[in-house]
Amino acid sequence: MTVKTDIGRKFEELVRILAVLRGKNGCPWDLVQDEHSIAGYFLEEVYEAVDAVGRGDASGLAEELGDVLMEIVFLARIFEEKDLFSIGDALDLIIRKMVRRHPHVFGGTSLPSAAAVADEWQRLKAGEKRGRGAFAGMSSTAPGLLAAFQIGQRVSGLGFDWKDALRALEKVGEELAEVEQELRAGCRESLADEIGDLLFAAANVARLAGINPETAMRRANQKFMERFAALEAVLKKLGKKPAQSSPEEMDRIWERIKKKEKPSGQRGRRPVGKNVPARKARAGTE
């Protein structure tokens, strides 16, 4: 595999630019930033990159990934100024980790399938974190569905899991019944607990089916907003707003909008859970 030789030079130029911006005669805005403010911008850029992936916007994604890289270098620069670590240290760590976690590529071992690779990844990771607890290193700021996905991955790597997604779906049914029970009882505190259990169970069904629940939720949100915008457009042609329409009328329009959409079964269907073995699939390089 050939790698473009100018990539390193370009990355070094980005590192140099951030050093200048944070230097003695640098940019006043950049100079007053700290790790907390940049962490916020970093998160925004990551979400914008994920949005570009969802839209299939390749040129937009290229720009967003550049923004993500900039925030990474910015954060590393702040900590280098504190003599804690540099971007070079971060690169050393991830290079060593990727080589260490891929002995079937960079070592003498052989693994027959993607599922075996994912199993080995989890085994190696568990060995590196031995004695630190199942959830050591997990982010406390991850979105709830993503955190549920990662929690399931962690305990699955330790042998604590459902056999498959269908078995996990049975748990969803149990939790749904408990939500209904609490709704009828009118106990708000217990209802919040049961809804949380329901969402956690659903996130693990997604994981076992090879689907990241956070990504699926974002797609569902986007789909709903697009449909509602289409509903508003129809009502506008009728000289109405949603507040001036009955639920029945809006339901009829909603169903017509759904029927005009491309059937979900034609959206590039691929086998669930086969390309990425969800029980052991890694969510990143952590």
Is residue 145 within 8 A of residue 151, CB to CB? The reply is no
Please report, rounded to a whole number, the percentage of residues in the chain having pLDDT higher than 70. Answer: 87
Q: Are residues 138 and 274 in the same domain?
A: yes
Average pLDDT estimate for 136-159: 85
111 pLDDT exceeds 60? Answer: yes
User: Cα separation of 186 and 175, whole Å?
Assistant: 16
pLDDT at residue 263, as a whole number: 59
Burial of 109 (0-12, 13-18, 19+ CB in 10 A): exposed
Final residue in a domain of this structure, among 45, 75, 100? 100
Question: What's the pLDDT at 130?
Answer: 65
119, part of any domain: no
Backbone dihedral angles phi then psi of residue 157, each to the nearest 5 degrees: -65, -20
Q: Which domain holds residue 69?
A: 7-100
pLDDT confidence band for 137 (50 / 70 / 90): confident
Q: Crossing angle for the helix pair 58-81 and 87-100, nearest 10 degrees?
A: 120
Same domain for 146 and 268, yes or no, is yes
Position 266 scores a pLDDT of 47
Do 71 and 151 lie in one domain? The reply is no
Phi, psi at 269, each rounded to 5° = -60, 135
> Is residue 267, in this structure, part of any structural domain at all?
yes
- Both 151 and 229 in a single domain? yes
Asked whether residue 96 falls in the same domain as residue 146, the answer is no
| Lowest model confidence (mean pLDDT) among 54-68, 82-96, 110-124 | 110-124
Confirm whether 121 is domain-assigned: no
Who's near 89: CB < 8 A, 6+ residues apart?
none
- What is the pLDDT averaged over residues 139-149? 87
Structural domains of the chain, count:
2
Asked whether the beta carbons of 231 and 257 are under 8 A apart, the reply is: yes
Name, in order, each residue with C-beta under 8 angstroms of 263's C-beta and a sequence gap of 6 or more.
none
Task: Say if CB 15 and CB 73 are below 8 A apart.
Answer: yes
- Residues 147 and 249 occupy one common structural domain: yes
Q: 168 and 162 in contact (C-beta within 8 Å)?
A: yes
* More confidently predicted of 51 and 85: 85
Domain identity same for 259 and 170: yes
B/e letters for 214-224, b = 16+ CB within 10 Å, e = fewer, are bbebbeeeeee
Helices and strands, number each (H, E), in the chain: 12, 0
Are 83 and 153 members of one domain? Answer: no
286 in the same domain as 144 = yes
The CA distances from residue 110 to 49, 100, 132, 229, in Å, are: 34, 14, 29, 52
166-184 confidence digits (pLDDT tens):
999 999 999 999 999 999 9
Same domain, residue pair 93 and 34: yes
pLDDT bin (cut points 50, 70, 90) of residue 275 is very low
Residue 59 belongs to some domain of the structure:
yes
* pLDDT (mean) for 206-233: 92
Q: Work out the average pLDDT over 33-40.
A: 93
User: What local confidence, expressed as pLDDT, does residue 104 receive?
Assistant: 84
Pair 63, 192 in one domain: no
**Average pLDDT in the 50-69 region?**
93
In this structure, are residues 194 and 179 in contact, taking their beta carbons and an 8 Å threshold?
yes
User: Is residue 265 situated within a structural domain?
Assistant: yes
Mean pLDDT across the stretch 1-27? 89
**CA dist., res. 181 & res. 186, Å (int):** 9
- Cα 280 to Cα 16, 72, 155, 241, distances in angstroms: 39, 28, 10, 48
143 located within any domain: yes
Q: How confident is the model at residue 273 (pLDDT cuts 50, 70, 90)?
A: very low
93-107 residue pLDDT tens: 999 999 988 888 888
Q: What integer pLDDT is reported at residue 141 of this predicted model? A: 79
249 inside domain: yes
Q: Shortest CA distance to 172 belongs to which of 209, 224, 218, 140?
A: 209
User: Would you say residue 115 lies in a domain?
Assistant: no
> Are residues 145 and 14 located together in one domain of the fold?
no
Using CA atoms, how far residue 178 sits from 182, 187, 202, 206, in Å, is 6, 12, 14, 20
Q: What is the CATH number of the domain that holds 72?
A: 1.10.287.1080
